Amino acid sequence: MTFQENQNIPRAHPGHGQGPAGASLSDLLTAVQHVASNIAQAAQTYLAVNGQQSRSGIAAASGAQLLKQGSGRVAYVNVTVAGSTGGALVDSNSAAATSPVLALIPQTVGSYFINLPFNLGLVVVPGTGQTVSVSFS
């Protein structure tokens, strides 16, 4: 094929998004919107699992505390001051409730991954002499 014959072959301009040269600007913007939407959804999932809210300095002296009414998920418990007894996380909408127990809070200083759902509400009952922090969503 000569140079002259090669000039007669129709080709799409790469910037116009026709043929194998590339996508249109509209296609690229749609793809970017999908990526942004997926990132936002992943961030919401991350926060739901790792706790969107936290409450620190929950001491035994202040008694049981209702942290949230309604359903959610408790993510972490951090024991900042060890007590002489362990505490509990309770699924209830009343701070006076002691059951059903979702998880026991150890009396040892440390961070504990709980990752459990609750239905009625989240009540924290620190053990004697204990101070805890709780992350939940």
At 96, give phi and psi (nearest 5°).
Answer: -80, -15
pLDDT value at residue 38: 87
Q: Give me the mean pLDDT over the 11-16 stretch.
A: 54
- Measured CA to CA, the distance from residue 63 to residue 46 in angstroms comes to 31
Q: Give me the mean pLDDT over the 105-121 stretch.
A: 94
Q: Which amino acid is at 29?
A: L
Q: Give me the mean pLDDT over the 91-113 stretch.
A: 94
List Cα–Cα distances, 59 to 72, 81, 96, 112, 115, in angstroms: 22, 9, 16, 17, 22
pLDDT value at residue 116: 93
Q: Give me the mean pLDDT over the 2-21 stretch.
A: 55
Question: What is the set of domains in the chain, with CATH numbers?
Answer: 3-49 (no CATH), 52-136 (2.60.120)
- Measured CA to CA, the distance from residue 13 to residue 54 in angstroms comes to 55
Q: Give me the mean pLDDT over the 47-52 stretch.
A: 72
Q: What is the mean pLDDT of the chain?
A: 85
- Measured CA to CA, the distance from residue 58 to residue 80 in angstroms comes to 9
> Above pLDDT 70, what percent of the chain?
82
Strands 131-136 and 53-59: antiparallel
What element of type H or E holds 72? strand 72-81
Q: Give me the mean pLDDT over the 21-47 stretch.
A: 81
pLDDT value at residue 71: 92
pLDDT band, very low/low/confident/very high, at 60 (cuts 50, 70, 90)? very high
Geometric angle at alpha carbon 63, from 61 and 65, rounded to 5°: 135
Q: Per-residue pLDDT for 51 more than 80?
A: no
